[in-house]
Amino acid sequence: MTLDGFFRENGKAALAFSGGVDSAFLLHYAIRLGADVRPYYVKTAFQPRFELDDAMRLASQLDIGMKVLEADVFACPAIVSNPPDRCYHCKRLIMETIASAAAADGYGLVIDGTNASDDLSDRPGARALAELGVRSPLRECGLGKEEIRMLSRKSGLFTWDKPAYACLATRIPCGEMISSDKLIATEQAEDFLRGLGFSGFRIRMMDGCARLQVREEQIQMIIDKRQAISDWLKKYYKAVLLDLEVRNG
């Protein structure tokens, strides 16, 4: 099946929209085909502000209304206790929130941006998608991340080279309770590094310390700016550590 064929058969759908590479391209393509696809962004304590800003910017670029919903992750013990399948419970909460709002708006089908490159064996959230009947057109049509980036660039979408991003909760070790303070510390710390020009990195919590994972080509930047980084991050962490198992994507 092609995307054209998918949207010929499913011309009306609600899109779980994050403002990332995949959902941005899917929204653009659906609009170009004339499909009635409405984007829904679910705001939780796990998403940093820049994700919502990017989603709003993309929706504005495509001249389409985006509905912003809110979900309280702290009201779900199965999420904040941070078990190995936390992503399942979080994804289910998000998709149920979208499905409920979409149904009220007259949209019976919910789609998302899961692509053919995603390894579903390592994604507990994929189980929630299957249980709720969420369709993934990019995956169903065999489109992987690199092709989506290439097509996004050709389409003039600013998201084409946006680094992959996992929610703030992934910075907290599995089994450690998630709190608002930990999420705020993570967001503030990563915003600081982003402001220094870093991209595609993570700052993970480890026994009260900040564990920096950066791309290989940015290790020297860390060394050059180590004092400023250490001084700033110690507002939230007792020590700053550099992980030599570098990120390359």
User: For each successive 10 residues of the chain (249 residues), what is the average pLDDT?
Assistant: 94 96 97 96 95 95 96 97 95 97 98 89 83 96 96 96 90 96 96 94 95 93 94 95 73
Which residues pair with residue 110 across a beta bridge? 14
pLDDT at 247: 58
Q: Quote the pLDDT of residue 249.
A: 46
Q: What is the distance of C-alpha 121 from the center of its chain?
A: 18
Contact, 246 vs 214, CB < 8 A?
A: yes
Asked if 183 and 45 count as a contact pair (C-beta separation under 8 A), the reply is yes
Parse the chain into domains and list their residue ranges.
3-161, 179-242
Are 34 and 131 a contacting pair, CB within 8 Å?
no
- Taking the C-alpha atoms of 32, 37, 43 and 48 in order, what is their torsion angle to the nearest 10 degrees? -20
Q: 3-class DSSP state for residue 5?
A: helix
In the structure encoding, which two tokens stand for residue 212, read together?
């920096």
41 three-state secondary structure: strand
d(CA 9, CA 186): 42
Which residues 6+ apart lie within 8 Å of 227 measured at CB? none
What sign results for the dihedral spanned by CA atoms 83, 88, 91, 95? negative
The C-alpha atoms of residue 120 and residue 18 are separated, in whole angstroms, by 18
Report the topology of domain 3-161. Answer: Rossmann fold (3.40.50)
Against a cut of 0.75, is the pTM above it?
yes
Which of 73, 103, 111, 100 has its CA nearest to residue 89?
73
Topology at the third CATH level for domain 179-242: Alpha-Beta Plaits (3.30.70)
